[in-house]
C-alpha cells in the first residue's frame, strides 16, 4: 500500500480540507468579531474582515459588563457555572461508580429490569418533569438556588454515569473480586481494595462527560434560576445575545469565554472525550 500521487487522493484531501474550513467558519466569526471595537463591528462593509488590531475591550466588557448600557458582565456567571458544575460532576460520578459496581459485580434479582428503567431517565425530554421539579424544589426550600440546581444535575446525571461505569467494570475480571471475597473482604472492602484503585480511567471519562454536559446545560438552569446574579454562564450568554441593541463584539467575546473551559478539556483530553461520547452519551 504505497501512497503515490493519484487523483483519488487529491479528491480525498480536497474534501477533507473543504469540510474543515466550513466547520471553522463559526470559530472565525467569533474570534474576528470579538477582537473588534464596537465601532468596527458596526461597520458592515468590514463584517467578515479581520479586526484592525487586537482590541481586548470586548473581552473586558463581556467580563465586567457595561453598566451605563445596562449590560451585565459574565464574571459572576462563570463563577456560578464552576460552583454548579464541579460539585454536581463529582457527586454524580461517585454515585455512578457505586451503582456501576453493584450492577456489574453484584447482580441481584431484578437488576436486569432495574437497569433499563434507570437508563430511561437520560432520554426523556426534561420538559416532562420541569413543572413538578420547580414545585418540589420550592417546597424543600431549594427553589431558585444553586444547590437546588446541583441536586437536579446529580439526579439526572445518575443514568449516564451508571451506564459508563457499569460497562467499564464489566472489563474488570470477576476473578479478582472472587479472590478478595475469599480473603474475607465484604462488598465495600472489595470496592475499596479492588475496584476503586482501577477506576481512574472510568472516572476520567465520566468526569469529562459530566463536566461538559452540566457546563453546557441550559433548560434546567433557565427554569430553576431566575436571579441574573445566580445564573450560570449559558443562561447569562443567552440573555446577553437576546438584548435589544446587540453589542456583537461583546456577545462574541462572551461566547468565547463561555466555550473556553469545555473546549480546552476537549482539546487536551480528546481520546477520553470520544470514549464518553461513544459510551452512549447523549447531548440535549
Partner 1 sequence: MAHMHRERWIAFLMILPSIILLSVFVYGFIGWTTVVALSKWDGVEPDYSWAGLDNFRQLFTQTGGVSAKRFTVDLWNTLFFTILFLASCVFVGLLLAILLDQRVKGEGIFRTIYLFPMSLSFVVTGVAWQWIFAPGTENRLRGVNALFHSLGLDFLRWKWYTDTTAIGPFHVALIPVVIAASWQLIGYVMAMYLAGLRAIPEELREAAYVDGANEIGLYRYIILPILRPVTLSALIVLGHISLKIFDLVYTMTGKGPGFATDVPGIFMFETTFQGNHYAQGAAISIVMLLMVSLVIIPYLAFSLRREVEL
- Per CB under 8 A, contacts with partner 1 among 37-66 are 44, 47-48
According to the binding rule CB under 8 A, does residue 204 interact with partner 1? no
Q: Which three cell numbers stand for residue 41?
A: 463591528
Q: Considering the complex, what minimum distance in angstroms separates the CB of residue 118 from partner 1?
A: 6
According to the binding rule CB under 8 A, does residue 15 interact with partner 1? yes
Query: What single DSSP character describes residue 109?
Result: T
CA 199 to CA 278: how far, in whole Å?
Answer: 18
Q: Which three cell numbers stand for residue 4?
A: 503515490
- Residues in 92-131 that interact with partner 1 by CB under 8 A: 95, 98-99, 101-103, 106, 108, 112, 114-121, 123-131
**Site track 206-245 with partner 1 (rule: CB under 8 A), x = hit:** ------x--xxxxx---x----------xx-xx--xx---
Q: Considering the complex, what minimum distance in angstroms separates the CB of residue 206 from partner 1?
A: 14
According to the binding rule CB under 8 A, does residue 268 interact with partner 1? no
Helix (H, G, I), strand (E, B) or coil at 66: strand
CA 113 to CA 248: how far, in whole Å?
Answer: 51
- Residues in 124-183 that interact with partner 1 by CB under 8 A: 124-133, 135-136, 152, 155-156, 158-159, 162-163, 167
The DSSP annotation for 50-84 comes to PPSS---HHHHHHHHEEGGGTEEPSHHHHHHHHHH
Q: Considering the complex, what minimum distance in angstroms separates the CB of residue 46 from partner 1?
A: 10
CB 9 within 8 A of CB 3: yes
Task: Give the residue ranges of DSSP H helices in 140-185.
Answer: 146-169, 174-182
Amino acid at each position: 500500500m504505497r501512497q503515490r500521487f493519484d487523483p483519488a487522493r487529491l479528491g480525498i484531501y480536497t474534501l477533507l480540507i473543504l469540510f474543515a474550513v466550513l466547520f471553522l467558519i463559526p470559530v472565525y466569526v467569533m474570534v474576528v468579531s470579538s477582537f473588534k471595537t464596537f465601532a468596527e463591528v458596526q461597520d458592515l462593509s468590514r463584517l467578515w474582515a479581520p479586526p484592525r488590531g487586537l482590541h481586548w475591550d470586548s473581552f473586558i466588557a463581556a467580563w465586567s459588563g457595561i453598566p451605563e448600557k445596562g449590560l451585565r458582565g459574565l464574571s459572576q456567571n462563570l463563577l456560578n457555572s464552576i460552583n454548579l458544575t464541579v460539585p454536581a460532576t463529582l457527586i454524580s460520578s461517585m454515585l455512578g461508580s457505586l451503582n456501576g459496581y453493584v450492577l456489574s459485580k453484584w447482580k441481584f434479582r431484578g437488576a436486569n429490569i432495574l437497569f433499563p428503567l434507570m437508563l430511561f431517565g437520560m432520554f426523556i425530554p426534561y420538559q416532562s418533569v420541569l413543572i413538578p421539579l420547580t414545585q418540589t424544589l420550592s417546597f424543600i426550600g431549594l427553589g431558585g438556588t444553586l444547590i437546588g440546581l446541583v441536586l437536579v444535575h446529580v439526579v439526572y446525571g445518575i443514568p449516564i454515569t451508571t451506564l459508563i461505569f457499569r460497562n467499564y467494570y464489566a472489563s474488570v475480571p470477576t476473578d479478582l473480586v472472587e479472590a478478595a471475597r475469599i480473603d474475607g473482604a465484604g462488598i465495600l472492602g472489595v470496592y475499596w481494595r479492588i475496584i476503586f484503585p482501577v477506576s481512574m480511567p472510568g472516572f476520567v471519562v465520566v468526569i469529562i462527560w459530566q463536566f461538559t454536559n452540566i457546563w453546557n446545560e441550559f433548560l434546567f438552569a433557565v427554569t430553576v434560576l431566575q436571579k441574573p446574579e445566580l445564573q450560570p454562564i449559558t443562561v447569562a450568554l443567552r440573555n446577553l445575545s437576546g438584548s435589544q441593541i446587540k453589542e456583537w463584539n461583546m456577545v462574541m467575546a462572551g461566547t468565547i469565554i463561555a466555550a473556553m473551559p469545555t473546549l480546552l478539556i476537549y482539546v487536551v483530553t480528546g481520546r477520553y472525550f470520544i470514549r464518553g461520547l461513544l459510551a452512549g452519551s447523549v447531548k440535549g
